[in-house]
Structure formats: structure tokens, C-alpha cells
Amino acid sequence: MDNGRIDQIIDKHQGEASSLIQVLLEIQSEYHWLPKNALDRVSEKLQVPLTRIQHIATFYKAFSLVPKGRYEIHLCMGTACHVRGAMRVLDTVEDLTGIKPGETDLDLKFSLDTVNCLGCCALGPVVEIDGKTHGKMAPGETADVLKNYE
């Protein structure tokens, strides 16, 4: 973790403690997780107790204290997606990536999570990869979609 880059992110927000969540979001976006040394640096530079930063980092689902893959896969398991075959799509994603929901592969390429709803029920089953929505997924199409994220 590059302290210089962390400092740039903090300086972009004028070192204001009120920008803590925004600073953490930018670090999360850049590194795909919040390493301990980054939290220590943020605590020092913003003069915010580390315990407060850790509380925020564990409270919000947007943050991760463990490494995540470059590509985050979110698979909807809501009712509309479930009845249209989301479980079969999940099984296929698990087979292709070798990971289960809540896990990250050893290459730090993919992280997989299930969600209750992605807000586009008419497109179910829906898979979101790195913020891009892929609708009306079928197990056979899953491999083709994942190939785009090599």
C-alpha cells in the first residue's frame, strides 16, 4: 500500500475529518479493500480515532477489510430472479470461478456475493459484474459473460 497515494486521496478532501467516508470509498475503489496500514494512515492524517474508522468500515457493506477481486460479481437471488433460475446461474458461476458467495479467488480476479435485489426484476436472473448489469442470464451464457472479464 502506497502511503503517497493514500495521502493524495486525503489531500483531495483537504484533510477534513468530515470527508472520512468519501476517503474510505476512494481507497476501497482503488485497492478493492481497506488494508490496515491504509486505515492507520487515514486515522493519523484526519486525526480520527482508529476505532471509529474500523466501526465505519465494518458497518457499511460497501467496505471490505479483506482483499476483494478486481471484478466483483453480484448475483441477484431475489424472488423474480430465483423463480427464473438464479440458482442454476449461481451454480455455473461457482463452477467457473471456483468460489462460493462471500469468497474471492486466489488470483484476486473475482469476488462473488449474492444480493437480495438489484432493482431490475424484469431482467431476471441478473448478474452484476463490476457495476455492469447482465440480464436474462442462463447458465450457458454465463461462461461467455465471464470471458469478458479476463
**Domain residue spans in the chain?**
3-59, 71-147
* pLDDT, mean of residues 98-125: 93
Considering the four listed CATH numbers 3.40.50.720, 3.40.30.10, 3.80.10.10, 3.30.450.20, the one that applies to the domain covering 71-147 is: 3.40.30.10
Q: pLDDT for 116-144, tens place per residue?
A: 999 999 999 999 998 899 999 999 999 99
Mean pLDDT of the chain: 92
Q: Is the pLDDT of residue 15 over 80?
A: no
Percentage of residues of the chain with pLDDT beyond 90: 72
* pLDDT, mean of residues 68-84: 94
Ordered DSSP codes for the chain: --HHHHHHHHHHTTT-GGGHHHHHHHHHHHHSS--HHHHHHHHHHHT--HHHHHHHHHHSTT--SS---SEEEEEE-SHHHHHTTHHHHHHHHHHHHS--TTEE-TTS-EEEEEES--S-GGG-S-EEETTEEE-S--HHHHHHHHHTT-
Percentage of residues of the chain with pLDDT beyond 70: 99
